[in-house]
Chains A and B, each alone.
Chain A
Amino acid sequence: MTTQHCYIGIENINLNASQRQTLVAALRALGPASHPSPACLCHWRTRTDGQAAIFEALFDENALTITAFKNRLASIFGVQPDTIDHATTSLSFAGGTTPVVTFSRGGTGYLRFALFGGVDATWGESGDECRGYLAAYRDQWDTPEA
């Protein structure tokens, strides 16, 4: 198993509450079951509206592929994975490259997934991209607290 310690993000587009909960539960279960470093265990941050989350862990790389996400969504929808479409774009939040994949079915987008820093990023590089993203959207992630 090849692992990558990194940050990933998901944003709900059109999943209903039950579908979203199923997906989130599956993502929270990723990463090692135990590890001496808390940083390597799966932990997450939820956007204040509850419609997006950032996860960090020492992930199995196979769990972060487009195919893996299509399989998860197909299971949630009760359909074949090849009926799930995707479109990829690249963004940069701190000088790196963050691929963002939008998954859709029947022309309707359901989920956006970001691999902060991309597949070759170190943990620090992935973290920089994630922190850059959080800085860009701070009003959506930090509850105003004077």
Chain B
Amino acid sequence: MKISSRHLFFALAAHVGLFLGLGLYTFVYARGYSYLTDDPRACANCHVMKEQYDGWVKAPHRNVAACNDCHTPHDLIGKYTIKAKNGFWHSYYFTTQTFKEPIEITPTDRRIALDNCRRCHAPIVDAIDGPHNNTKRLDCLRCHQGVGH
């Protein structure tokens, strides 16, 4: 049997349409749009970070900083690059159920959080960090681990 190019074109159109529709529905159903916002509830969508969210609600930073204030860079490109990268890997590990729990922050993400401590607290910590650029930076979280959540 011969399948004409015309038939193939319709099949492609139908499949692409199906994929787009399905994709859009999944995006809405899984509240994908919420990940583009700064709403902290989005981070607990898939339950894994519920403890961190619950902790943040009761922690001292709740009125001044939400998840993205500490966990994403503050330039537009950096912010959405990190969101895309972490978003992809979090979805991947959650879907395949292959992640460590209690969860552990990656070195990159820890560095971002430490940068953000300094973004607000620089006036105080500049003096602690010291004037020498080649000195190893102090790790705020080593002592202030529970400050965010």
A-B complex is real: no
